[in-house]
Structures are given as structure tokens and as C-alpha cells.
Structure 1
């Protein structure tokens, strides 16, 4: 199913690296791996994997440094940060080094596989489709928008929300479905938090956020991304 899709696992915990590698190979992915942050950049640049699973804490070089270095060298594929520390997730969400997404440790292997399948479906197989709207271009792997030759940074959650809407254009999306897609099954997020992220996203994509042309509210249900 995933023949030809290469995933790099950069993780110093040998047991976890083995478990993830074994499962992903069973799912049909090609896997390369390393437990050393110092050699990760050269390995990834040489092998050009479609997806990188990158641990936050690594010997010799942290995941944030590796990600920054990869982006500076022109690597634009998906980079998913793996982190056990909730405060580190906050740092990742600040997007100073170009992470595409993150997964919190400990993670369920089925959830990780589902996440990767979503990346393959929407970010890789459709990477040249569904990324333009209005006068903007969405680059999901680097969580950014291009408008009038200017780059607009998106947070991880804004990126997830926008990507979901762009793959479901002109459909009415309920708040519950959107929260499940963006935050996942174990989330205690409420609709107010979702609405706050929608407001922030509108400020980045709408010419007049108070009268949105794209991301419209459907009263009593949720939202609709208008792209007629």
C-alpha cells in the first residue's frame, strides 16, 4: 500500500525505535533509522525520506536544531516531532524551526499509523492539489501561506485546521468533527478553544476577518470553507 514511501525514524530509545520501525515496515513503508542527532541531518539530506519522525531529545543535537538545519538546507518534506514533555509541545507550536506536526509520547501505535496515513493521503499524494485558494498558496509541510510573495507562518493547529478545510472545500463541517480531526480522541478541548483558533486563522487568510469570504460560520453547526 505504501510502497515507495520512505520514513526516517530519528530516536535514541532503541526499544521504541525498534517497535516503530517494525510496525511501519509491516505497514509497507521503507524505513531508515538513527539514534544519533549528530548524524541525522546528513542521513536525511542523503536519503530524502517523505516523512521524518524526529525525537525532541537526542544525543549530540536536539530535534529542534536538526529541524532548523534541514529547513535551511531546503528540505521541505513532512517532519513530525515526537516529544514526551508537554512544555516542549508549546515550544513546537511556536514554530520557530519548521516542524510540520507533532505527536506526544507515549503514543498509541495505531494512532501514529493513522496519522502517517493521513499525511500520505493529504500531504504527499495530493501535494500539488488543493493547495491554492484565492490569491494564496498553502504549504502544509512548512506550515505556511504565500500571499503576494510574502510568507505567513501558521501554528501547527492552524495548519491542521486549514489543511482539513482545503481537503473538504464547500462542505459543512461540524465543530465536533473538526475538533476530533485537529485535537484527536483524547482531547478535552472545548468549542471556545476551537473558535479562538478559527478567529486567529481568519486574521491570516481573510482580507476582512469580520466578514470572512473563505472560512464562514454555519450557525448552529460549525463551519464551511467557501471556495466557489
Structure 2
């Protein structure tokens, strides 16, 4: 289990004052690396990285491209977007682990990182279920029900959640008791 003191957090944001602020705040709790560009982020992220706090809009890269590259490399870090871009159903295709909408304070940042560190220790099926549930909550907070109902991706999310709920429920029901 990774504890806060052992956790490595990579913060990726092209706004240097914000990057410095997040690094100072989070540096009291975690081992923090920073990257001000997509290239620097992809150079910095590795198997030692536990959580990536990723802006969606960078000058030469979209955060979604960076997230896709991280997943393609097989890195098992948790990735959460931290962006001024209001989340829409398009985030479902890139599968972030969480989404924070700027501005974000230190308590919200640390709570989200702690939740991701806890998530990393769970079984894959549970992780996937909770990730999907969190994305559903985020979209319900930021989008109208009419917009969500009209989006194919949202219905697919609901279908995946239902399927994962059955899988997780079966595993919990079949788990041996002490």
C-alpha cells in the first residue's frame, strides 16, 4: 500500500504560477514532480509515479493525448484531470480516474489524491466500477440530464456501470468469510 509519505505525484500544468502553487501545497504531503509541458510530462512519468494531476489543455499536447500515451505505456498510475475545461461526455473515451474542475483548493486536491492512492490498492474490478461511478457523478454535476440522455457515451457508461456492479457484487457475495 502506498502511503501519502511514499506517494509520488506528478503535476502537469503550463501555467507556471499555478504549477508552483500546487507543488508547494502538495509538497508538504507527497514527493512531487512537476512538468510545464506535455513533453516534460511524458519524460517525467514512470513506474514510480503514483498519481498524475493533469491539465487538459497544454500548448503542444492535449491532456487526453498524454493520458492515452500513459495508458499505452502500461503505466499503472492514477490520472486525474485538473482543468478549467468543464467535463463533458468526451472524457469517457479517455478514461481518467477522476476530474477536478479549476479552481481547486488544497483540501480538494489532497482529498482527490488520497482517494486515488486508496483506489490503487483495490481489486481491478472494484477500481473500474468506482472510476465509472465517479465519472457518472462528475457528468451529472456539470451537464443537464437532457444533454446526458442524448449522449450515446453516457448510456454506454450506465450500461458499463450496471455490468460492473454485477461483477463486483458477485465477487463480494462469493468472497470467503472469516
TM over 0.5: yes
* Greater share of residues in strand: 1
Structural RMSD (CA): 3.4
**Is 1:214 aligned to 2:169, yes or no?**
yes
Consecutive unaligned residues in structure 1, runs of 5 or more: 132-136, 144-153, 162-181, 208-212, 216-224
Give how far 1:97 is off. 2.3
Q: Quick one: higher RCO (CA 8 Å, sep 6+), 1 or 2?
A: 2
2:40 maps to which residue? Answer: 39
Consecutive unaligned residues in structure 2, runs of 5 or more: 149-154
Q: Deviations over 1:157-210 (max 9, x none)?
A: 42578xxxxxxxxxxxxxxxxxxxx56xxx599xxx9xx999642244438xxx
- Number of corresponding residues: 159
* Greater share of residues in helix: 2
**Comparing 33-42 with 8-17, which one deviates more in the overlay?**
33-42
1:37/1:58 contact within 8 Å kept: yes
2:16/2:36 contact within 8 Å kept: yes
Task: Determine the C-alpha separation between the residues in 1 that align with 2:157 and 2:74.
Answer: 30
Change (3 A) 1:91 1:3: same
Give how far 1:69 is off. 0.8
Q: Which has the larger radius of gyration?
A: 1
Task: Determine the C-alpha separation between the residues in 1 that align with 2:156 and 2:94.
Answer: 21
2:10 maps to which residue? Answer: 8
Task: Determine the C-alpha separation between the residues in 2 that align with 1:85 and 1:25.
Answer: 25
1:25/1:31 contact within 8 Å kept: yes
Task: Determine the C-alpha separation between the residues in 1 that align with 2:172 and 2:126.
Answer: 19
